[in-house]
Amino acid sequence: MTPACVFRVALDTPLKRLFDYLGPASGLFAAPITAGMRVRVPFGRQQLVGIVMEVATSTDVPGEKLKPILDVLDAEPVLDASALALLQWAADYYHHPIGEVLSTALPKAMRSGAPAQAREEQWSVTAQGVAAHAVGEPRRAPKQRELLGYLVVAADAGVAAARPADAPAPAGLDSATAADASEAASYAHAGAGGSPVAGRRLTDATRTMLDAPSVRGVSATTLDGAFPKWRETARALAERGWVTSAEVSLADGESRFGVKVQGPELRDEQRAAVEAVGESLGHFGAFVLHGVTGSGKTEVYLRLVERVLQQGRRALVLVPEIGLTPQLVGRFRDRFDTPMAVLHSALTDNERLTAWRGAFSGHARIILGTRSAVFAPVPDLGIVIVDEEHDASFKQHEGGFRYSARDLAVVRAQRADVPILLGSATPALESLQNVAGGRYVRLSMPYRAARAELPRMALIDLRANAEHSGISTPAIQAMQRHLNEDGQVLVFLNRRGYAPTLLCTACGWIAPCQECDARLTVHLSASRLRCHHCGFDTKLPERCLVCGFAVKPVGQGTERIEETLTGFFPGVTLARLDRDVVRRRGDMEEVVRRMSSGEARILVGTQMVTKGHDFPNVTLVVVLNADQGLFSSDFRAPERLAQTIVQVAGRAGRGTRPGEVLIQTEFPGHPLLLSLLSEGYDGFARAALEERQQAAWPPFSRLAAVRDSAKTAEQALEFLAEARKTAGKLPRGVKLLGPVPAAMSKKAGRYHAQLLVEGADRASLHHFLQAWLPVVEQLPSARKVRWALDVDPIELF
Ligand SMILES: [Zn+2]
Ligand SMILES: [Zn+2]
């Protein structure tokens, strides 16, 4: 028997296939089921929510085994054709089950069946109600009279467009709940004061809701806040025919857009960048905006987003970490009077759903978010912007589905036929190679805004200069000089804690982590020993656990550098910025505030200081240890080091005074440091790309890593060795490297290993993986380990 219609459904299972179902029992659903809709289906003994990927007319599944769809959850697709195409592309490229890829793209609530569009119960006044209110009815029911009056005021507010809101936009998103809260507050005020309009402040979202003729009512949630036990009263009024209620969809594609403040005059190179991308609006083009720190990249983003929004289209902006880019989010809010949806990992499930709905309905015109926002629904997408495109955070490198949001953003822009702008002061070598190959266009902004000059960089030879707890004499002298001249100083060290090692001076015992191949880090002020890899945390011992002799912390962390500097510069206020200091929301802002106000003169920090913040009065940056990145077995380590140095150097001299950057190293003759110093990031990138080409590392080859972990080191290696064996004779252009134990083999109690697959190009790598992975998945040893494939890994063991 051939069924008329078969629906191929993606389900969140580890199986790399779709599942066929029949349509639901006839007559239940009038609308046709199309690709992109959610359905509830039987799966074994459970019921799962899945996405219809295809509608087919035939199936290999025998007729008696085909089951019908139980329920259709959407009247229209929640994923349009381009979204489905992107997800399918991602599943193929990363060799990952489509069902799991889809579950990355949809908020949890959507995956368990929440409606795609927010609906709410709203109450509004009828024409008779307005007339009754005008003559003071109902005279004998004060509660009814009050509620009726309240609803009349609400209806008035919908007609007379309110002034722009002074109230800040709700944190995170223009959610219906946030709008409700402020709506309630404003109405409560109006109700109590008796004056219907005075003192009322409406947020953008509220205003939009009220502007639409269908939503001139007041939500039940708002009424809950304004009138305890209002329902009884409302029912009485409804019986008189004076008020009415309805279930209203909050979706509103016609949200407003305005520019709150005009941007500053563009400099020539900014204008050139805006024009170049602007000409590409309406079709695909990939642009690398290579602008030094302080060159005004954000202004270029803002102008392009403005153009796109003016055309009635929408913008997708990706940022590496939301907590570290508050300034960027703030700049968008300050410039535009339009709803934004902000998506990031710190949202609750409900907040995420609200933000997603805001994007899906088209209400939000700007969708800004971290990694997984690349999958956000954006109707009428007009441009994609990836800020700090070199940042490693764009790559998901844990869990099952390991994807690069930056790379997927390019694919998405291509599918949508819109331009993509990849901005950075230190573009990834891959992106620069795409420029060299003519696939991307580079837009250069080598100068800083008004008067600010790029800082001078110099090396300090640690072998030739005395050191005081990790800080050399020339560095101390330079700091003194800059402080005397009223400058601020930034000291960078990529290691938090007090000291990386606790050593017994008698027997040589070093405090180890029991779960990892790592030393425990001393956190002196907290009096703890902590593992930075697995989170192990214990009391700091006073004596050696082996011989009982005194122990001492060895090496430097930010906490100790802070202490050392306090000794050198008594009376000078210091601030520190690292993960130990920034624990709660607002901690980072507090450190930034102390620096900006000039209260703190010296800032000691980790990688965190390199991102997103301007300290205009910082005139000196000291990089305490550049050497970690110079001799790593990971071919990307030099690139990361150069990016870090340039980014941290970019914090210096952003005001009117020139900055100075000092880099401490034991290897002042290292070619990487020399090329970086003499020719800047461009020179470094050229040299590094040449090196990669000679060694045939990406982007001159393609990599995929099979990584696993097991309870024993042998098991971890055994699976990968077997996997290698099944590959047999390798096709041309494909190499297998390993398996090898990870550099830190034991981590969090498990043993890690890796097998690297290298393809001469993308096609040869993926052809090989396609044939090989199904065999690997069937290996009995695969069940004894946890393993995952990482295509285009950004970190190698
Ligand atoms: Zn000892
Ligand atoms: Zn550990």
- Return all residues near 447 (Cβ < 8 A) that are at least 6 apart: 267, 269, 292, 295
Task: Tell me which residue has tokens 């206020």.
Answer: 573
Spatial distance between the Cα atoms of 423 and 765, rounded to a whole number of angstroms: 29
Q: What is the pTM of this model?
A: 0.82
610: DSSP letter: G
Quote the pLDDT of residue 188: 31
User: Taking Cα atoms as reference points, which of 113, 74, 250, 255 lies closest to residue 175?
Assistant: 250
Proximal ligand: closest to the CA of 534: 2
The predicted pLDDT at position 168 comes to 34
Q: Which residues of the chain have pLDDT under 70?
A: 1-3, 26-30, 158-216, 250-254, 323-326, 450-453, 612, 653-656, 797
- CA gap 273, 385 in Å, rounded: 13
Q: What is the pLDDT of residue 436?
A: 96
- 344 vs 611: CA distance, rounded Å: 17
Ligand nearest to the CA of 541: 1
Q: Which ligand is nearest to the CA of 543?
A: 1
Ligand 1: distance of its center to the CA of 510 in Å?
8
Compute how many other C-beta atoms are within 10 angstroms of the C-beta atom of residue 299.
21
Ligand closest to CA 748: 2
Give the Cβ contact number of residue 398 at 10 Å: 9
Q: Is 710 left (phi over 0), alpha (psi -120 to 50) or beta?
A: beta
What's the CA-to-centroid distance between 561 and ligand 1, angstroms? 26
pLDDT at 122: 83
Q: How far is the CA of 750 from the centre of ligand 2 (A)?
A: 10
* DSSP labels, 79-127: S-HHHHHHHHHHHHHTT--HHHHHHHHS-HHHHTT--SS-EEEEEEE-H
User: What pLDDT digit, counting tens, does each position of 282-309 carry?
Assistant: 999 999 999 988 788 999 999 999 999 9
Q: Provide the phi-psi class of 700: left if phi over 0, else alpha when psi is between -120 and 50, else beta.
A: alpha
| Alpha carbon of 657 to ligand 2 centroid (Å) | 44
- Residue type present at position 776: V
Give me the pLDDT at residue 478, please.
96
State how far the Cα of 541 lies from the Cα of 547, in Å rounded to an integer: 12
Q: What's the N-to-C CA distance of the chain in angstroms?
A: 54
pLDDT tens-digit readout, 760-784: 999 999 999 999 999 999 999 999 9
| 511 Cα: distance to centroid of ligand 1 (angstroms) | 10
Instruction: Give the Å distance between the CA of 512 and the centre of ligand 1.
Output: 13
How high is the pLDDT of residue 541? 94
